[in-house]
Amino acid sequence: MYGSKREREYLFSRADGNAAMRAQVEAALSEVDRLPEQRLLNTDVDALVQYFLDKYSMTVPTLDRSGVEGSHHERPYEAYDQWERRTVRVPGEAYDFEVPFAGEASIFQMQSNTFDTNPPVAEVAGNKLKFTIAGRTLSPEEVRQKVNSLLDSIDQYLGWHRSMWSSYPDELGRKVRQQIEARTARLLQQKSSVAALAGLGIKIMEKAGDARTYVPPAVKQKIQPQLPPMRPATPPEPTLDKDVYQKILGLIRGAGRSIEQSSSRTRSLDEEALRDMFLVPLNAHFGNATGEAFNVTGKTDILIRYEAGNIFVAEFKIWGGDKLFLQTIDQLLSYLSWRDTKTAIVIFNRNVGFTSVVNKMRALIKTHSNYVSGPLRLDETSDSYTFSLPQDNERQITIAVLAFDLGSKA
């Protein structure tokens, strides 16, 4: 039952969103000040800023309306007796609903710059919102209307939050960079002073871990695959961590948006050349010192390999119509083993009417024989879907479809 006191508390009303944003920035700046000298002075500034952007990012939740699940119960209902002017418990019914979401759960407790006097009511539990529709008698249409009304209200509040948080990444990156550069300059000045004293014959003892040189190699984030439980009959195979998967998708989306805004010469590159442009930020962020590096196989695939297997596969295609799009899904599925559950399809559009292409893909993907559920919206032109493996219908995988508009050649 979702009728607890906690459930009846309002969403978007417990904390000040602006104060939370300031606290996030201050926490990042505080961590900059705590970095060891050697780490700060020997790390590329751009890579270090990106590290803090990744660590302190805040993703406004997106509701997965297609994943709503409910259960029906016979349950006493509190009704107001007009004659006796008191609340009485009478026989009734209730529907308990759960709505999955992707993003930061804490956003649901924060008040944005824009709000109204009637915030929605629901319980936040993990990555789901829970709420109850109750009454003496409830018609299906009444339940549907109340569910949609509540979800519309929550989406409205989330939209206000997206507007408020839209400037946060730029502000965070700017302030973190200023803090890094200011502390770096201060440390270098201090070292210059120490060297000057040494030149005057005053010996200064070195601190443990003191950075004696200032060489800026790029910081890399190593992909950490998680091993599944061992089975006596088969060797263990790695899987890809969900957080790492989201970081990979974020880098792909960022690179795609950069290409969208680049020169016409870049946007007119062929499929293979466009694909290769994504390898640069991926390998720059995750490194290629071990077997997990991003690499290319065949004509259009980008992979993360681990030992003898693959734990991430992405297909890159220029939009070529309905048939080619469905064939791309088939091609991607044909690459996957039972443990390959994190994948992506990147589509480049050169047709007039990008909106129509995106809508067509969202409709087409639901016609595929292995489609299970979705979309879960990632942004305006990117979604994730749940599919089953052709060789095992009970095994579910995630396919993210990311679309970018390169402009029409017409």
When pLDDT is averaged across residues 213-228 and rounded to a whole number, the result is 49
Which pLDDT score is estimated for 200? 56
pLDDT recorded at residue 264: 81
Highest mean pLDDT among 59-68, 233-242, 246-255, 304-313: 59-68
Confirm if 183 and 32 have CB atoms less than 8 A apart: yes
Q: What is the pLDDT of residue 157?
A: 95
Residue given tokens 């800026």 in the structure block: 216
* Backbone angle region of 78, left / alpha / beta, with phi > 0 → left and psi within -120 to 50 → alpha: beta
Q: Which pLDDT tens digit goes with each residue over 31-76?
A: 999 988 888 887 788 888 888 888 888 899 999 999 999 999 998 8
| pLDDT, position 228 | 44
CB 132, CB 6: distance < 8 Å: no
Confidence tier at 248 by pLDDT (50, 70, 90): confident
Percent of the chain scoring above 90 in pLDDT: 40
Average pLDDT value for residue range 12-30: 92
- Is the Cβ–Cβ distance between 368 and 387 less than 8 Å? yes
Residue 342 has what pLDDT? 84
Residues 6+ apart with CB under 8 A from 46: 218
pLDDT of residue 254: 86
Q: pTM to 2 decimals?
A: 0.49
Three-state DSSP state, 209 = coil
**Omega before 375 within 30 of 0, i.e. cis:** yes
Q: Residue 201: CB partners within 8 Å, gap ≥ 6?
A: none
Residue 38 near residue 210 (C-beta atoms within 8 A): yes
The whole-number pLDDT of residue 308 equals 54
Count of all residues that appear for the chain in the document: 410
CB atoms within 10 A of CB 20: 18
**Position 217: which residue type?**
P
Considering all CA atoms of the chain, what is the largest pairwise distance in Å, rounded to the nearest integer? 97
91 contacts 76 by C-beta, under 8 angstroms: yes
| Unique residue bearing structure tokens 């978007």 | 12
Q: What is the pLDDT of residues 274-322, one digit of tens each?
A: 888 888 777 777 654 333 345 545 555 787 765 555 677 888 999 999 9
Show the beta-strand stretches assigned E in 113-205: 123-125, 128-135
Tokens of 15: 């904390």
Q: What is the dihedral of CA 165, 166, 171, 173, to 10 degrees?
A: 110
Mean pLDDT lowest for which of 54-58, 135-139, 202-206? 202-206
pLDDT of residue 215: 41
* Whole-number Å distance between alpha carbons of 90 and 81: 10
pLDDT by residue (tens digit) across 73-96? Answer: 998 888 766 776 778 788 899 999
Residue 164 has pLDDT above 60, yes or no: yes
pLDDT of residue 105: 92
| pLDDT recorded at residue 22 | 93
Cβ pair 8, 121 in contact under 8 A? yes
Average pLDDT estimate for 1-7? 40
Looking up tokens 């050697």 gives 38
Task: Please give the helix or strand (H or E) that residue 127 lies within, else none.
Answer: none
Residue of 379, 378, 375, 377 whose CA lies nearest to 387: 375
Distance, CA of 372 to CA of 100 (rounded, Å) = 15
Q: What integer pLDDT is reported at residue 8 of this predicted model?
A: 53
Per the prediction, the chain carries an average pLDDT of: 81
Higher-confidence position of 247 and 327: 327
Non-local (6+) Cβ contacts of 232 within 8 A are none
pLDDT per residue over 315-349, tens digit each?
A: 899 999 999 999 999 988 887 777 667 889 999 99
DSSP state of 92: -
Rounded Cα distance between 316 and 344, Å, is 9
Give mean pLDDT, residues 230-241: 52
